Structure 1
Amino acid sequence: MIRFEKVTKRYQDGTTAIKSINLEIREGEFFVIIGPSGCGKTTLLKMMNRLIELTDGTIFVFNKKIRDYNIHELRWNMGYVLQQIALFPHMSIEENIAIVPELKKWNNEKIRQRTDELLEMVGLPPEKYRGRKPKELSGGEQQRVGVIRALASDPGIVLMDEPFSALDPISREKLQDDILELQRKIHKTIVFVTHDMQEAIKLGDRICIMKGGEIVQVGTPKELIESPVNEFVREFVGMQSVRGKENIRLENIIDQLMTSQSPSSPSVTIPASSSLREALILLTEHEQLLVEKEGQIIGSITRQTALQFMADGLQERGDGNG
């Protein structure tokens, strides 16, 4: 889908922002790039749609070199969501969403259908929001529009540069949940830059940790948690944080939550992509949950195993501070 081969970005002042990176992002995955400030994560993202030109090496998209694309064609197939929402204030929500479809010469009926479909997807009733101006929306609502505007022309790839970092914690968590739910429906290739490890663990199918313009480790949340390649990754993942554990998807920790107890009846099922926090909420009402992935039950958890997992996190934090 997206492939970096020995890609370097060097600026005229001699600064090397990206150092001979090799990386492959798979079709349909939610791929998160994270690292400390100045590590090169945003530069890496912006090279994908040529907002920043690479110095050496090659980037392929759909097995074609990005320099061989017409730049408009390349960007039309990559939705782009920024931290600064950047909706046009003088245009209605519908007009904001329609920008790229209009450039692609979609007819008005198709644009209206697509706008309504996307607004419905993120819980903004079209009849209520279609004609509003951005200033009439909350920050969270504006960012929802920013996300669906990037999806309007049905691009194969969506690039997201710290899109939720300016929001308050409640709005941010709601949008994280929304984007996960949206991804379950649309199965896009999403490349998401963040500085928040808890967000990365919650959202990412795989996470790329960067430092000093280089990739330190790429892996699933489970792989980074259980098998960090060095002390930097171990500390950056920060499993001493109990709240971080709450955001981990069940599929990444199911082995540690499994119970030998026979399923209770009637059985309550929860998707494997749900967070531990969501499971804990359900477990306030049910003694046991069956964890389902792609129509198959992959395990079961109880209130006791979930609380024990959280308690182990507290013990780790205490040991780490000792």
Structure 2
Amino acid sequence: MIHFENVTKRYQDGNAAIKSLDLKINDGEFFVIIGPSGCGKTTLLKMMNRLIELTDGTIFVDDKKISDYNIHELRWNMGYVLQQIALFPHMTIEENIAVVPELKKWNNEKIRQRTDELLEMVGMTPEKYRGRKPKELSGGEQQRIGVIRALASDPGILLMDEPFSALDPISREKLQDDILELQRKINKTIVFVTHDMQEAIKLGDRICLMKDGEIVQVGTPKEIIENPVNDFVRDFVGTHSAAVKENICLEDIIEQLLTSHSVAPSTVIIPVTASLREALMLLTEYEQLSVEKEGQIIGIITRQTALQYLAEGLQEVGHGNG
């Protein structure tokens, strides 16, 4: 368990990034921290592994003050994944994954076994990827390596600071599914920072919504959506209303983005009742999909049109925030 007790972070100019905060994160929980820019969510994350030192209060990990841990021991037990993937470009993928195990004096055979195990866990064939350099991988593949590198020495806690926000929507959706599947296998305590309500709702066992260095509400996605504690939460969820539309109708998308009749129907067919999420997952493998309704092909969705639809939705959210 991670336990914050009356924690404050105040800078020299007197500005308090975190204000007398109390919080408990349970073992094995996927805990998401969300809020507007400048609310303190990244500061909160970085205080856990002492990248930022707290001013007042106490943080406990497994009932022990983080100040009582050897700092290397503390950080080795907390894998850390950033938005900037930060793989070492001159190293192979295997060498990147091996950084912390080598610091912990693992032998070569143990490192090789762990590297292969982790690559297989995220669907990357060890023989194909272990000797490659980061520049030979796509953005999504690089971020997968970032995640498993953080898991290399089998830490109990995984800290993730907006790890998918720089990726295109389809890669991001795929990695979100991957991290959920990975969590089912490894059952770590994951603390995940995001500014995206849709991501928070999809991933979190519980969500912590912050504003101005304080916690406004902590609850399950259902509790946050159905029982907001005040207008700020209601407005924050409402502004990101696309996040709670689990069943966007594909027929509506086709009507908005109807392709030319000259485009040959795809051999991959998806029913009109399928969710947007299911369509996006298929589009990671296929260039386009045919949408079927009552035995008839009523339209086509391509990667390009799906990305266009998502981009327009994000622009609408952006205008709503302005």
TM range (shorter): 0.7 to 0.9
**1:58 aligned residue:** 58
Identity of aligned residues (%): 88
- SS at the partner of 1:153? coil
Q: Following TM superposition, by how much is the alpha carbon of 1:128 offset from its aligned partner in structure 2, in angstroms?
A: 0.3
- SS at the partner of 1:88? coil
Q: Is the 8 A contact 2:197 2:243 kept in 1?
A: no
* Structure 2 counterparts to residues 273-292 of structure 1, below 5 A: 277=277
Q: Is the 8 A contact 1:202 1:247 kept in 2?
A: no
Q: Following TM superposition, by how much is the alpha carbon of 1:77 offset from its aligned partner in structure 2, in angstroms?
A: 0.2
Q: Following TM superposition, by how much is the alpha carbon of 1:242 offset from its aligned partner in structure 2, in angstroms?
A: 4.3
Q: Is the 8 A contact 1:225 1:239 kept in 2?
A: no
Q: Does 1:228 align with 2:228?
A: yes
CA-to-partner distance for each residue in 1:220-241, whole Å, 9 max, x for gaps? 0011011110011111122873
* Structure 2 counterparts to residues 109-258 of structure 1, below 5 A: 109-238=109-238, 241-246=241-246
Measure the CA separation in 1 of the matches of 2:81 and 2:139.
Answer: 14
Q: Following TM superposition, by how much is the alpha carbon of 1:276 offset from its aligned partner in structure 2, in angstroms?
A: 9.3
How has the CA–CA distance of structure 1 residues 108 and 157 changed in structure 2, closer, same or farther, with 3 Å as cutoff?
A: same
* Structure 2 counterparts to residues 42-57 of structure 1, below 5 A: 42-57=42-57
Q: Following TM superposition, by how much is the alpha carbon of 1:278 offset from its aligned partner in structure 2, in angstroms?
A: 5.0
Moved over 4 A (4+): 275-279
Q: Following TM superposition, by how much is the alpha carbon of 1:243 offset from its aligned partner in structure 2, in angstroms?
A: 4.9
CA-to-partner distance for each residue in 1:235-263, whole Å, 9 max, x for gaps? 11228734533289xxxxxxxxxxxxxxx
Measure the CA separation in 2 of the matches of 1:126 and 1:245.
Answer: 38
Q: Is the 8 A contact 1:41 1:210 kept in 2?
A: yes
How has the CA–CA distance of structure 1 residues 209 and 96 changed in structure 2, closer, same or farther, with 3 Å as cutoff?
A: same
Query: RMSD value over aligned CA atoms?
Result: 2.5
How has the CA–CA distance of structure 1 residues 92 and 277 changed in structure 2, closer, same or farther, with 3 Å as cutoff?
A: closer
* Structure 2 counterparts to residues 261-280 of structure 1, below 5 A: 277=277
CA-to-partner distance for each residue in 1:98-127, whole Å, 9 max, x for gaps? 000111111111110110010011111100
- SS at the partner of 1:238? helix
Measure the CA separation in 2 of the matches of 1:240 and 1:64.
Answer: 38
Amino acid at match of 1:136: E
TM-score normalized by the length of structure 2: 0.77
Measure the CA separation in 1 of the matches of 2:96 and 2:243.
Answer: 36
Measure the CA separation in 1 of the matches of 2:141 and 2:211.
Answer: 33
CA-to-partner distance for each residue in 1:11-68, whole Å, 9 max, x for gaps? 0011100000000000000000000000000000000000000000000001000000
Measure the CA separation in 1 of the matches of 2:13 and 2:239.
Answer: 38
Q: Does 1:26 align with 2:21?
A: no
Measure the CA separation in 2 of the matches of 1:30 and 1:247.
Answer: 24
Could you tell me which runs of 5 or more consecutive residues in structure 1 were left unpaired when the two chains were aligned: 249-274, 286-322
> In the comparison of the two structures, how many residue pairs are matched?
261
Q: Is the 8 A contact 2:197 2:240 kept in 1?
A: no
TM-score normalized by the length of structure 1: 0.77
Q: Following TM superposition, by how much is the alpha carbon of 1:201 offset from its aligned partner in structure 2, in angstroms?
A: 0.2
Measure the CA separation in 1 of the matches of 2:203 and 2:89.
Answer: 30
Measure the CA separation in 2 of the matches of 1:168 and 1:31.
Answer: 23
Measure the CA separation in 2 of the matches of 1:222 and 1:73.
Answer: 36
Q: Does 1:72 align with 2:72?
A: yes
Amino acid at match of 2:49: N
Amino acid at match of 1:107: N
Amino acid at match of 2:204: G
